Amino acid sequence: MAVRRLAGRYRGSASAAQCAAVRASIAAATLAPTTALAAYKMNLPTPVTPIGQRILDLHNLILWICAIIFLLVFGAIFYSIIAHRRRPGVQPAMFHDNVQLEALWTIVPFLILVGMAIPSTATLIDMADVRGSKMTVHAIGYQWRWHYEYPEHEIGYLSTLATPREQVANLASKNEHYLLEVDNPLVLPTGVKVRLILTSSDVIHAWWVPALGIKADAVPGFIREVWTRIDEPGTYRGVCAEFCGRDHAFMPIVVQAVTPEEFERWIAGRKKQVAAAAAEAEKTWSRDDLMERGKQVYQQICAACHGPDGKGTPGAFPPVAGSAVAKGPLSEHIASVLKGRNTGKFPAPMPPFGQQLGDVDVAAVVTFERNSFGNKAGDMVQPAQVKSAR
Amino acid sequence: MAIVTAEHHEAHPKGVSRWLFSTNHKDIGTLYLWLSFVMFIVAGTMAMVIRSELFQPGLQVTNPHFYNQLITLHGLIMIFGAVMPAFVGLANWQLPLMIGAPDMALPRLNNWSFWILPFAFTLMLSSVFLQDDGGGPATGWTMYPPLSVQGGIGVDFTILSIHMAGISSVLGAINVIATVLNMRAPGMTLMKMPLFAWTWLITAFLLLGAMPVLAGAVTMLLTDRHFGTAFFNAAGGGDPLLFQHVFWFFGHPEVYIMILPAFGVISQVIPTFSRKPLFGYNSMVYATASIAFLSHVVWAHHMFTAGLLLVSELFFMYATMLIAVPTGVKIFNWIATMWRGSLTFETPMLFAIAFLLLFTIGGLSGLMVAIVPADFQYHDSYFVVAHFHYVLVTGAVLAIFAAVYYWLPKWTGHMYNERLGRLHFWLTMIGMNLTFFPMHFLGLAGMQRRVPDYALQFTDFNQWATVGVFVQALGHLVFIYVLFQTIRGGKKAGARVWDGAEGLEWTLPSPPPYHSFTTPPVVK
């Protein structure tokens, strides 16, 4: 266990609401640097899947072969540096060919390579074999968050960086899992072969969780599948590995592996939330509630580009404060959020958020934007209006 | 006519026109080398800003968008502006001297292929000053769509400047091929050529094969961005991975374009300071040629996580692993050259030995990233950053330093200061390893590339790397001093600067006459 703690900073404890707990705890934040610095991590994290284990074994095997080859090369160079340096009266040898020797150092490396290729091929073939999966999860990359879907259970949600922006700007002390924490982790049952289907809605992303031994690109317009079977309950952290633009560093992945029983309970809980959300969308919201919800959504989704203060980034992203959209017709504002917007004035168009956000969230955030940062449109949006605008 | 020709040839243009209109291989070589050095300092300064940002978690020095411009330009400028022109500069200076020719075969073409470059890089770098239009390219040097289709005006500037740099490279390559194939001294058969000429000949063919492919890729990108095509847009029937295939069909030979001339340099330097002929000349030539051939059939190993077919991944894994065989042959041959020689350790030899050791590290980590299942962990992590800096910086760049110290007395007629040369060497050595070695650990521990900010457990090794880059910078300040000191004066260098040196360039005085060999030497 001690070894695992040392080796696996990606692995947290199995406690459930860990992200929230860590965020809330100032004590954890102050303790974090010391524990983080204590463990110099120099090798791959301890795997928790059979494939991850085979990758680690393969990695260690090649690493040792390479280390031995390097020591031989290093040794030969240093031997000749010491033994064959110029000495008075000693003439250099004049040989410049040796067919046997040259054949030897062509054939021996080739045989070593064959020895490496055999286990690599076997592992690769097993990694590609998604047959016999018991459940499917979709992971869809967005700039800069992940959207997870459980098609068998009709559940889907966004998973966004939970580290507050103040910590990135060095205005607050950093959490233990700084940049490796999300609001809604991907929850998977242990001991079950899960098929993960990846795609993207904008640019190429890559889903990488080292402890699972998975790194797979999410390519827009294309679908690819990988599989995993997690053996141990726990929290496993990863990142988007494919360069995807400005906030590439800020779209982590957190996988929470729980026992199948816990997983069933979690699914049931999620379904209740879905039902509650549907009920929320039916009711008529008060202005204060919309504003409060809208502020949350704005800070979570919109602030990444438009800034926490609504001022945007000059040359890159337009401001919300004083913008024509926030002052203009309501329908256009809703359509911008749902379907995106491309004026050609900025390097990147605004992506559509219709798939990522529910009716309540869109209604709330539009209301918030029209009545904050000095904007005084005065109107408000109900979820039903958003539904009809879709 | 004869009088006119003689007069024309004896007139040495002075001042600015000497450099602007030069058709002389030495002057153009000098221009290439200075351009390369200036670009090296520009892109190196970017590296220092990048590493300053990475000294601590959190954002301190840059914002993410500007950081992304820096990493993109650092890569593009180092590759197209620093390493490639440096080797073209070495080829310009050395090929005529080494094969016994008066000049390059196509002197006016030579002038043009150089003078395109300053404009290309001015264009690329100028986009940084257009921050209101999105600034410089922020796509990574690989410019993958759809990210690069989203990008600002800097991407267009970069596409055009890559076209210009590509034209320059192709013209330079044509010149090298024409020179090496037509202008060798009587008696110098191909298999008697110095290895530097061999590696450059093969590199030139790689350039001809690779650069037009890059031009095609970026042209498709340009039309996707502005003219409504959908080569790389799945919604229009295209495929984002098509770009990656075409790009890396250029990109992998490009890696060897930057390292084969380095192999050539090392094959000249090690025999000189071992006072012993190069071991296995023939197998060196065959190894170079097989590396060049294999480099065209391994491109998809840059895309192992992109979702290729299983059979493709297996093919590209095996082909990539095969490159280790000829590369190994080269390393073993260099060691056998040193074996039972009579070694001395002047600055060029120090750089060559460091190349041998550190390039081996880069080669071995290259073998590791060839293993597909393990590459799923290494890909796009700092492990890969460590790998390609070990082959390109402690490989290609160290070889360039070896070459400069080796031939500087020939070029200037003055010996450089040996003590300062060694100081430069040791600062570079400590700095480079401090910068790049910890990156292996960062990558294995899970740090991804191209990020301005990182999780707390990566802090320590990042700090080592940042300290390392400033040690390197100190070393290069020493180098600048050594360069100016040697150009302005110093102990006179004889024709044969190094007592173990073999080859035609050492039969000419230092510095060599304006037209290197006016009567061809005879090689027996």
Residue A358: pLDDT above 90?
A: no
Q: What is the ipTM of this complex?
A: 0.91
Which residue matches tokens 């095609």?
A: B216
The Cα B116–Cα B123 span in angstroms is 11
Q: For residue B505, what is the DSSP state?
A: G
- Distance of residue B133 Cα from the nearest chain A Cα, in angstroms: 6
Contact B144 A204 (CB under 8 A): yes
A135-276 domain in CATH 3.60.110.10?
no
Quick one: how far is CA A283 from the chain centroid? 35
Residue-wise pLDDT tens digits, B464-510: 999 999 999 999 999 999 999 999 988 999 999 999 999 999 999 99
CB-based contact (8 Å) between A82 and chain B?
no
3-state secondary structure B113-125: HHHHHHHHHHHHH
Superfamily for B19-507?
Cytochrome c oxidase-like, subunit I domain (1.20.210.10)
Residue-wise pLDDT tens digits, A117-170: 999 999 999 999 989 999 999 999 998 899 999 999 989 999 999 998 889 999
Residue A3: pLDDT above 70?
A: no
Contact B353 A106 (CB under 8 A): no
CB-based contact (8 Å) between A243 and chain B?
yes
Residue B269: pLDDT above 80?
A: yes
Among candidate residues B7, B27, B119, B122, the one with its CA nearest the CA of residue B73: B122
Contacts of B134 in chain A (CB under 8 A): 315-316, 346-347
Contact A96 B147 (CB under 8 A): no
Contact A62 B368 (CB under 8 A): yes
Which of B282, B356, B371 lies closest to A120 in CB terms? B371
- The three-state secondary structure class of A145 is strand
Specify whether the CB–CB gap between B159 and B153 falls below 8 A. no
The Cα A212–Cα A170 span in angstroms is 31
> What's the mean pLDDT in A221-249?
94
Contacts of A30 in chain B (CB under 8 A): none
Specify whether the CB–CB gap between B98 and B197 falls below 8 A. yes
Residue-wise pLDDT tens digits, B3-57: 444 444 556 778 888 899 999 999 999 999 999 999 999 999 999 999 999 999 9
Chain A residue with the nearest C-alpha to that of B500: A92
How confident is the model at residue A302, as a pLDDT? Answer: 86
- Angle, CA of A184, A189 and A194, to the nearest 5°: 95
Which of A92, A125, A242 lies closest to B340 in CB terms? A92
Buried-exposed string B381-395: b where 16+ CB fall within 10 A, e elsewhere:
bbbbbbbbbbbbbbb
How confident is the model at residue A39, as a pLDDT? Answer: 53
Residue B296: pLDDT above 80?
A: yes
CB-based contact (8 Å) between B347 and chain A?
no
CB contacts under 8 A, B 419-448 vs A, are 441, 444-446, 448
CB contacts under 8 A, A 340-369 vs B, are 346-349
Chain B residue with the nearest C-alpha to that of A31: B456
- Give the HSE-up count for residue B30: Cα atoms under 13 Å, Cβ half-sphere: 15
Q: Where are the domains of chain A?
A: 50-83+97-127, 135-276, 283-389
Chain A residue with the nearest C-alpha to that of B366: A66
Least confident of A320-334, B156-170, B244-258, B441-455: A320-334
How confident is the model at residue B414, as a pLDDT? Answer: 96
Average pLDDT of chain B to the nearest whole number: 94
What is the CB neighbour count within 10 angstroms for residue A165?
A: 16
How confident is the model at residue A325, as a pLDDT? Answer: 87
CB-based contact (8 Å) between A109 and chain B?
yes
* Helices and strands counted in chain B (H then E): 19, 0
The Cα A373–Cα A350 span in angstroms is 20
Q: For residue A321, what is the DSSP state?
A: T
Contact A243 B329 (CB under 8 A): no
Specify whether the CB–CB gap between A202 and A247 falls below 8 A. no
Which of A69, A73, A125 lies closest to B310 in CB terms? A125
Residue A22: pLDDT above 60?
A: no
List of residues 6+ apart from B262 with CB closer than 8 A: B87, B355, B395, B396, B398, B399, B400
- Looking at domain A283-389, its CATH architecture is Orthogonal Bundle (1.10)
For A258, left (φ over 0), alpha (ψ -120 to 50), or beta?
A: beta
List of residues 6+ apart from A76 with CB closer than 8 A: B335, B339
Contact B343 A86 (CB under 8 A): yes
Q: Where are the domains of chain B?
A: 19-507
CB contacts under 8 A, B 289-308 vs A, are 305-307
How confident is the model at residue A33, as a pLDDT? Answer: 42
Query: If residue A197 lies in a helix (H) or strand (E), which one and from where to where?
Result: strand A194-200
How confident is the model at residue A179, as a pLDDT? Answer: 94
The Cα B206–Cα A99 span in angstroms is 29
Which of B63, B131, B379 lies closest to A241 in CB terms? B379
Residue A19: pLDDT above 80?
A: no
Contact A70 B360 (CB under 8 A): yes
Average pLDDT of chain A to the nearest whole number: 85
| pLDDT confidence bin for A349, thresholds 50/70/90 | confident
Contacts of A177 in chain B (CB under 8 A): 455
Specify whether the CB–CB gap between A253 and A238 falls below 8 A. yes
Contact A116 B321 (CB under 8 A): yes
The Cα A174–Cα A31 span in angstroms is 10
Q: Could you tell me what percent of chain A has a pLDDT over 70? A: 89
How confident is the model at residue A43, as a pLDDT? Answer: 86
| pLDDT confidence bin for B367, thresholds 50/70/90 | very high
